[in-house]
Amino acid sequence: MHKKIPVLELEIDEETSNILSIGDVFAPERIPIGVQVDNFKPNRASLNRWWLGRAIPASRLGLRDALELMNVSSTGLLLLKCFGLSLSDQYWVDSHEKHLNWDEVNFFENSFSEDVGNALFGHASGSKKISLESPDNTSDGWLKKKWIVSGKRRLLVKGGSELISSLCVLSVSCKRRLLVKGGSEPAYQEPLNEVLASSILKRLGIHHANYELAWDGERPLSICEDFITKKTELISAWSIYKSGTKKRNISDYSYFLQRCEELGIPLIREGIERMLVLDYIVVNTDRHYNNFGMVRDADTLQWLGFAPIFDSGTSMWHNQFANRINGLMDQKSKPFNTKHSSQIKHVTDFSWLDFQALKGIDDEYSELLAQSVFIDDARRSALCLALNQRIQMLANIVARRRKS
């Protein structure tokens, strides 16, 4: 299903969630982008990869413990428990027997259980019956994360006492959907980096998911609002990449831009260039094709443009020792080139980039880092120095470009 519109008929194995066969196709234009179609019918293996790719990935931190806590054998089973519904797009599966009503089941408008999300954070209670109807069952990525509804959520603050986050209190009436994300050992730096990236993007006037800081005991968390509504959906860059065939003699970057143009997605070059500038500054090492995307109107299928920038936390040497932090050294990048020094060359227009707006960002980052017990002074100093070095290196690139 795509919202209320039947797309095609499937037979799914309820034990494994695997697609066994495909029946009639009712709305070929709504077959998920990137799924291979042969003779007007989706290829079963390709559709199966797309469908199972909606499940929590095997790489998710703490997954095995969470499944044990919930007494669920696989992430595929969780997928069926929530009918494949997500808070990032509008696809789901109905059953011939049940005939569910989208208005009554979608997570944008209906409440959902936090049990799966709590289990993923290792916080499930052993006794009460767990409800598995949750958009967490279809959340991607390797960091611990959970969706919450604003207004009713209590967050743990530093030291372990409970407080309703001001972010949530403000919005009791509008009940926004918020994504809470953790960090990874040993520095738990990703949430702090998300907040840094948000500040850089805000200062530079770039459309982004705004991440705010919260705490789970001493561990930092980031919280951002769902930028998808019941009328829109996120299509990953990876789906777009797979929707065509790249010729050998063309670069990944040119192919991707060309594919977006063929699909009629507006303002892609501008969106990508701004993202590459951010990634250069914060030394993002994980901007793979599922970490950016496009937004589409789910009713009309009209492309709305480049999605707000999200998931920038895997940056700023988050998994490196302090003595490895050096802003002057070239770093690994994704997705178009393997080094940031090469990837930044794709940016054709820096005229919008106002370095003045970044003044004081190092002090802001320092204050942010100082809040975490997992970041010592040496690491904090090295990170702030490196941030300044990255900004200076970018300024040098821009100056050289202006001269030539």
Chain positions contacting ligand ADP, by CB under 6 A: 88, 139-143, 145, 179, 181, 209, 224, 226-228, 234, 290-291, 310-311, 313
d(CA 284, CA 184): 15
Integer Cα distance of 399 and 153 in angstroms: 48
3-state secondary structure (DSSP) of residue 171: coil
Name which of Mg ion, ligand ADP, none residue 179 binds, using a CB cut-off of 5 to 8 Å depending on partner kind. Answer: ligand ADP
- Comparison of 193 and 291: residue with beta carbon closer to Mg ion: 291
30 binds, among ligand ADP, Mg ion, none (CB under 5 to 8 A by kind): none
Interatomic CA distance for residues 141 and 32, integer angstroms: 19
Task: For ligand ADP, give the closer residue by CB, 56 or 344.
Answer: 56
Q: Which is nearer to ligand ADP, 143 or 316 (CB)?
A: 143
Decide whether 167 or 382 has the Cβ nearer to ligand ADP.
167
What are the residues whose beta carbons fall under 8 Å from the beta carbon of 78, sequence distance 6 or more?
Answer: 55, 56, 72, 116, 132, 137
Q: Is the dihedral of CA 171, 85, 155, 291 positive or negative?
A: negative
Strand order in the sheet with 219-225: 145-149, 177-181, 219-225, 211-216
Q: Please, which residue, 276 or 394, has the CB nearer to ligand ADP?
A: 276
Q: How far is the CB of 228 from ligand ADP (least distance, A)?
A: 5
Please, are residues 325 and 379 in contact by the beta-carbon 8 Å criterion?
A: yes
Q: Which two tokens stand for residue 226?
A: 């769902």
Structure tokens of 20? 């066994």
For Mg ion, the binding residues (CB under 5 A) are 141, 291, 311
Residue 216 interacts with, from Mg ion, ligand ADP, none (CB under 5-8 Å by kind): none
Query: Which residue's CB comes closest to ligand ADP?
Result: 141
| Residue 252: CB minimum distance to Mg ion, A | 19
Nearest to 203 by CA among 314, 278, 287: 278
Q: Provide the minimum distance between the beta carbon of 288 and Mg ion in the complex, in angstroms, as a whole number.
A: 8
If the CB atoms of residues 34 and 313 are measured against ligand ADP, the closer one turns out to be: 313
H/E stretch holding 50 reads helix 44-52
Compute the distance between CA of residue 273 and CA of residue 285 in angstroms, rounded to an integer: 16
Q: Is 269 within 8 Å of 64 (Cβ atoms)?
A: no
Nearer to ligand ADP, 308 or 327 (CB): 308
Nearer to ligand ADP, 209 or 382 (CB): 209
> Nearest approach, Cβ of 311 to Mg ion (angstroms)?
4
Q: Give CA–CA dist 235/297, Å, rounded.
A: 10
Q: What are phi and psi of 214, to 5 degrees?
A: -140, 180
* Shortest Å, Cβ 116 to ligand ADP: 14
Give ∠ CA 51-56-58 in degrees, rounded to 5.
105
Looking at the DSSP bridge assignments, the partners of residue 5 are 2
Shortest separation between residue 110's beta carbon and ligand ADP, angstroms: 17
Q: Output the smallest distance, CB 356 to ligand ADP, in A.
A: 29
Q: How far is the CB of 139 from ligand ADP (least distance, A)?
A: 5
